[in-house]
Amino acid sequence: MTAVSGHGPWPGRERDELEAQQTVLGDLAGLPTGVAAVPFLTQLTGRGPGADALGRTAALLEELPVELGPHGWKLADHPGLDERRAEVFLREDLGALALAAHGYAGPLALEVVGPWTLAATLWSARGDRVLGDAGARRDLTLALAEGVRAHVAAVREQVPGVQPSDVVVQLAEPQLGAIHAGVLPTFSGYSRLRSVPGPDLVEGLRPVIDAVHDAGARAVVHLGGTWAGLPPVVLAGADAVGLDVGAIGWQESAWELVARAAEKGVGLWAGLPPAQVSQCAGPMLGELVRLVAEPWRRVGLAASGLDGVTLLAAPRMRLASSDEHRAELANLGRVGEALAERAAA
């Protein structure tokens, strides 16, 4: 069944967590018949550092303290105020989820930063990006794997009606293509970090994906607007791959990789841009339907397979208002309904 979900970032500040989570659960419950809802744990990033996906993920790391530095989050010698703040934000969000989802049974999505993007974004305690140190990178991956296991268990404790197989862990890996291409700058900016070959990308993803599966959950790896990392994601055992199809458009090479993944049973989570609005006709949803359906058919995939696509709003440069987010969820529900009709035709 075509489904609708989201990444997690939501507008709001302190004491808005419960309202945000209730809004997501309520709006997704009102999707058209034939479109499944995959509610997600919200992240009120307006509360500051530690409330965002990167800070939350850094705080999940087992026995690897973190803190804020001049260039962002970095590894630390011991836990401090920054890490404790991120942990408090996560507890608040889980508490809000427990209240909003009381009695809920069904799928639930959680987003964390994937191991490669985390290694490319975190700085070592006294040096460059963690990505440039193979030993530190390995420690980071194992710490994240343990943190993800604990995170899934904590969420299920708060929402007992959610079965292990209903949990979807979304691993955000928008930097995977840049890491593979070797274009990320070093701390000085005068050189680039060495390219990471495909087999190493697979080995770096696998411990975290295995941890998700060990917890009984499913793993979706989001690549954003780049498709270069799709083969390693499939080889690492992901259940689905996330792509911002609006940014990719019709690139035959990209969609051929999607087709090969689909033939192996790997699903597609399609990120869609906001719908253009016509003064006469309202949201132009047909264009969003075509962004998914036309490339799908052009690479020879059966229309019936559209029934297994999950839709979500692609991340924006700026955080949209709550009304904009709600409108996007409603629009995605209508797009999902149209895709389901094409699948059944």
User: What pLDDT, on the 0 to 100 scale, is given for residue 190?
Assistant: 78
Is the Cα torsion angle 321, 225, 220, 268 positive or negative in sign? positive
The number of angstroms, rounded, from the C-alpha of 178 to the middle of its chain's C-alpha atoms is 17
As a whole number of angstroms, the distance between CA 22 and CA 103 comes to: 13
Task: Tell me the pTM.
Answer: 0.95
pLDDT digits (tens), the chain, 345 positions: 899 999 988 887 666 899 999 999 999 999 999 999 999 999 998 898 999 899 999 999 999 999 998 888 999 999 999 999 999 999 999 999 999 999 999 999 999 999 999 999 999 987 789 999 999 999 999 999 999 999 999 999 999 999 999 999 999 999 999 999 999 988 777 788 899 999 999 999 999 999 999 999 999 999 999 888 999 999 999 999 999 999 999 999 999 999 999 999 999 999 999 988 876 667 889 999 999 999 999 999 999 999 999 999 988 766 678 888 899 999 999 999 999 999 997
Q: According to the model, what pLDDT value does residue 149 have?
A: 97
| CATH of region 7-344 | 3.20.20.210
- Residue among 123, 47, 141 nearest 85 (CA): 47
Instruction: Determine contact, residues 147/215, Cβ cutoff 8 Å.
Output: no
Question: Which H helix or E strand runs over 83?
Answer: helix 81-100
Say how far apart CA 65 and CA 45 lie, in whole Å. 21
